[in-house]
Amino acid sequence: MNRLLHLLKPYIITLIVIVLVWKGLSFLLSKVIFPAPEDVIGAFGLALFTKSFWFHFLASGFRAFSAMVIAWLVGFPLGILMGYYKKVDQILSPFIYLTYPVPKIVLLPIVLLLFGLGDLSKILIISLILGYQVLVTTKDGVKSVPKEYLKSIHSLGASNWQVMREGLIPAALPYGFTALRLNSGVSVAVLFFVESFATETGLGYLIMDAWGMMAFDDMFIGIFGMSLLGVFINEIVNLLEKQFCPWFYNLN
């Protein structure tokens, strides 16, 4: 129990500081615009028991998790192939590194024109952003495997597929999961942006709709919901990493 309190102490202190600063700002500013923390927390607690909140939360969650799955299914295998096969790397690297610095969110109007205003366009733009991160970090993970290690596996009569399965995939998995975890916040930020127009579902819509109607309590409920979704995404990636990369945690 004491150890748990010791681990949680920094987070508790940080939370207290945030609440105190928030409380101070609510006194200095108009409470209508910047409600007190206890009012928002109470409103959020009540919102958790409403169908409306969970309708928007699940809509956003579906988009975020679908985008993560697509990013992984495309980015991870491509990263392994580019890291292992020199010819594949030579063909794809110029395209990847020319397009990688381009902020993918600027492509949203094009994606909307091509795929419409539904969930598909929103999922694709988020998966595009995450997919690049997964691909690049996975490739770096494969490149970090010593060539001597791969040669030793080949010398035992292993095929290319066995080398990938026994050597490259285990080495690259932590890199791919790290990319997803580090970009969980980015995915939620992009989700907010794509849901802030041309839709009537999702937490982003809830925030902007409440802001437009000056319903600031509802706006903060949406913000809390977005934060909660970001925590869920981060923790799910952590659980998946622990499940599929137990050796990585044992080494650390």
The whole-number pLDDT of residue 6 equals: 64
DSSP 165: I
Q: Which two tokens stand for residue 4?
A: 């748990």
Percent of the chain clearing pLDDT 70 (strictly above): 91
The whole-number pLDDT of residue 62 equals: 93
**Angstrom distance (rounded) from CA 84 to CA 99:** 21
Most confident of 58-62, 85-89, 105-109: 58-62
Q: Is residue 205 within 8 Å of residue 56, measured between CB atoms?
A: yes
Match domain 35-251 to its CATH number in 1.10.10.10, 1.10.1760.20, 1.10.10.1800, 1.10.3720.10.
Answer: 1.10.3720.10
- Res. 252 pLDDT band, cuts 50 70 90: low
- Count CB neighbours of 167 within 10 A: 20
The mean pLDDT value for 126-147 works out to 86
pLDDT at 116 over 60: yes
Q: Which two tokens stand for residue 147?
A: 């060539």
Kindly report, residue by residue over 167-225, the tens digit of the pLDDT.
788 888 888 888 888 887 888 888 888 888 778 888 999 999 888 888 888 888 999 89
Residue of 129, 139, 197 whose CA lies nearest to 168? 139
Of 58-67, 146-155, 201-210, the poorest mean pLDDT is in 146-155
Query: The pTM is what?
Result: 0.83
Sign of CA dihedral 93, 99, 101, 105: negative
Residue 213 CB contacts under 8 Å (≥ 6 apart), including other chains:
none
Most confident of 67-81, 98-112, 211-225, 236-250: 67-81
Q: Which two tokens stand for residue 9?
A: 């102490």
Question: What is the residue-averaged pLDDT of the chain?
Answer: 83
pLDDT at 52 over 80: yes
The whole-number pLDDT of residue 1 equals: 58
Kindly report, residue by residue over 93-103, the tens digit of the pLDDT.
888 888 888 88
The whole-number pLDDT of residue 83 equals: 86
Burial of 206: CB neighbours in 10 Å, binned 0-12, 13-18, 19+ = buried
